């Protein structure tokens, strides 16, 4: 379309130049011939521009979404309107708990499920009156996801871990929440928790900061540090709050191979007194400059990056999911990949049920 506009502007510019440079020197007859020739030339260029615009539109329409094979080629495919991205933002999720829950597709364990090693999903996805296992979900969606995308999913899942999770408490700058989410996803952290200091607070839109990382994370929202920490401790986590104090331990002296919840606090007030009192350990990042603190999203990134490095040096890698857990999380990612995925899996379940009857 840009080429089309350029050619049209160029054609009229040529027409204007012709008028300006030949007005005084041409006779009436010559002028008439000149204008006829110039207008024919202009019309020809406009026709070329029109054909180019039409061709460009055809090419644009033929490009398929990244990661998905053209579903129209499959007789049993389900075609839906494009996903509404306005609802797929960190701002929307943090202010709508129901949508956070809907973001996670596979059946989850009960909230207060006690475990020494936490993995949130069961090998079950509800479809109609029945349930599908992760292997069936992957089988149903396999023809619709491109090989490059499936390989990307496998590599990401291989390096994912629930053994260390991020907790952000009462952040008032929404850009910091988005940046922390982005770092968590990039470093292989699957679980993030948000404790709100004001459940009615509205945040500014910063989707460009998170780069869509929230789509691939497990996000849990809490009204208080007490509620959040109680559940995390039942899942086997030690609660580590970032705090500059005499009793704070350097992050470089910690063993990050233990299940740990990293808590970062408000940009101005830091960690709340309630969270400090309920935590198991206070930690700090050694400072070598004149200032005594990092930006909270930067601090979160440093903490998570060091945790990954420490775990890799002690265990050989950060990702620690069992084979079955990887398959379940792979199915979860496949279901989140595109809204069409849910419809395709439901159709698969219907066909399977029909064969059994």
Q: Using one digit for the tens of pLDDT, what is the confidence trace for 217-232?
A: 999 999 999 999 999 9
Q: Are residues 48 and 108 in the same domain?
A: no
Q: For residues 213 and 340, what is the distance between their CA atoms, to the nearest angstrom?
A: 20
pLDDT at position 179 over 80: yes
Structural domain includes residue 44: yes
Beta carbons within 10 angstroms of residue 56's beta carbon: 14
127 three-state secondary structure: strand
Structural domain includes residue 22: yes
User: Mean of the pLDDT values across residues 191-213?
Assistant: 62
pLDDT of residue 59: 37
pLDDT at position 14 over 70: no
Q: What are phi and psi of 310, to 5 degrees?
A: -65, -45
pLDDT at position 204 over 80: no
Whole-number mean pLDDT of the chain?
A: 78
pLDDT of residue 90: 63
Domain enclosing residue 45, as ranges? 2-62
Tokens encoding 12: 């009229």
Q: Residue 69, class by beta-carbon neighbours within 10 Å (0-12 exposed, 13-18 middle, 19+ buried)?
A: middle
Q: Which of these ranges, 71-80, 89-98, 333-342, has the smallest mean pLDDT? A: 71-80
Q: Are residues 11 and 109 in the same domain?
A: no
Which of the pair, 8 or 145, is modelled with greater confidence? 145
Structural domain includes residue 167: yes
242 three-state secondary structure: strand
Find the helix or strand (DSSP H, E) in which 220 lies. Answer: strand 218-222
Q: Are residues 52 and 114 in the same domain?
A: no
Q: Are residues 13 and 102 in the same domain?
A: no
pLDDT of residue 47: 53
Q: For residues 107 and 120, what is the distance between their CA atoms, to the nearest angstrom?
A: 9
Q: Using one digit for the tens of pLDDT, what is the confidence trace for 79-100?
A: 344 444 444 466 666 666 666 6
Q: Are residues 41 and 102 in the same domain?
A: no
Structural domain includes residue 112: yes
pLDDT at position 56 over 50: no
Q: Are residues 102 and 248 in the same domain?
A: yes
pLDDT of residue 187: 97
Structural domain includes residue 6: yes
Structural domain includes residue 147: no
Which of the pair, 137 or 35, is modelled with greater confidence? 137
Structural domain includes residue 155: no
Q: Are residues 226 and 262 in the same domain?
A: yes
Q: Are residues 251 and 215 in the same domain?
A: yes
Q: Residue 173, class by beta-carbon neighbours within 10 Å (0-12 exposed, 13-18 middle, 19+ buried)?
A: middle
Contacts of 43 (CB under 8 A, 6+ apart): none
Q: Are residues 31 and 113 in the same domain?
A: no
Number of domains in the chain: 2
Which of the pair, 38 or 239, is modelled with greater confidence? 239
pLDDT of residue 128: 87
Q: Are residues 24 and 110 in the same domain?
A: no
Q: What are phi and psi of 18, to 5 degrees?
A: -60, -40
Which of the 8 DSSP states describes residue 270? B
User: Mean of the pLDDT values across residues 270-299?
Assistant: 92
pLDDT of residue 113: 75
Band (197; pLDDT cuts 50, 70, 90): low
Q: Are residues 165 and 25 in the same domain?
A: no
CATH number, position 265: 3.40.1280.10
pLDDT at position 33 over 50: no
Q: Are residues 111 and 253 in the same domain?
A: yes
pLDDT at position 1 over 90: no
- CA torsion, points 187, 94, 91, 340, in degrees to nearest 10? 80
Instruction: State the Cα angle at 327 between 348 and 347, rounded to 5°.
Output: 10
């Amino acid at each position: 379309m840009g080429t089309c506009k350029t050619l049209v502007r160029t054609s009229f510019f040529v027409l204007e130049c012709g008028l300006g440079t030949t007005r005084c020197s041409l006779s009436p007859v010559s002028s008439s011939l000149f204008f006829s020739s110039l207008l024919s030339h202009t019309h020809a260029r406009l026709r070329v521009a029109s054909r180019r615009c039409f061709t460009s539109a055809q090419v644009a329409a033929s490009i398929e979404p990244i990661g998905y094979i053209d579903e129209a080629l499959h007789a049993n495919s389900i075609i839906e309107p494009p996903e509404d991205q306005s609802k797929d933002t960190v701002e929307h999720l943090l202010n709508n708990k129901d949508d956070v829950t809907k973001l996670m597709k596979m059946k989850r364990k009960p909230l207060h499920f006690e475990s020494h090693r936490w993995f949130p999903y069961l090998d079950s996805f509800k479809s109609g009156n029945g349930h599908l296992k992760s292997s069936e979900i992957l089988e149903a969606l396999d023809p619709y996801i491109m090989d490059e995308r499936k390989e990307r999913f496998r590599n990401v899942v291989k390096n994912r871990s629930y053994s260390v999770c991020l907790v952000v408490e009462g952040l008032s700058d929404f850009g910091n929440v988005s940046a922390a989410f982005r770092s968590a996803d990039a470093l292989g952290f699957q679980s993030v928790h948000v404790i709100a200091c004001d459940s009615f607070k509205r945040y500014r839109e910063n989707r460009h900061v998170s780069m869509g990382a929230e789509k691939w994370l497990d996000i849990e929202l809490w009204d208080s540090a007490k509620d959040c920490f109680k559940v995390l401790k039942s899942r086997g986590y030690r609660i580590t709050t970032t705090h500059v104090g005499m009793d704070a331990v350097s992050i470089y002296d910690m063993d990050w191979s233990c299940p740990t919840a990293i808590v970062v606090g408000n940009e101005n007030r830091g960690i709340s007194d309630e969270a400090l009192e309920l935590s198991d350990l206070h930690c700090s990042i050694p400072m070598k400059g004149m200032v005594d603190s990092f930006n909270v999203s930067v601090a979160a990134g440093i903490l998570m990056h060091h945790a990954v490095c420490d775990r890799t040096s002690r265990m050989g890698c950060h990702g620690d999911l069992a084979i079955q857990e990887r398959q379940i999380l792979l199915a979860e990612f496949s279901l989140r990949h595109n809204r069409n995925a849910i419809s395709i899996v439901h159709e698969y379940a219907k066909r399977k049920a029909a064969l059994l009857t």
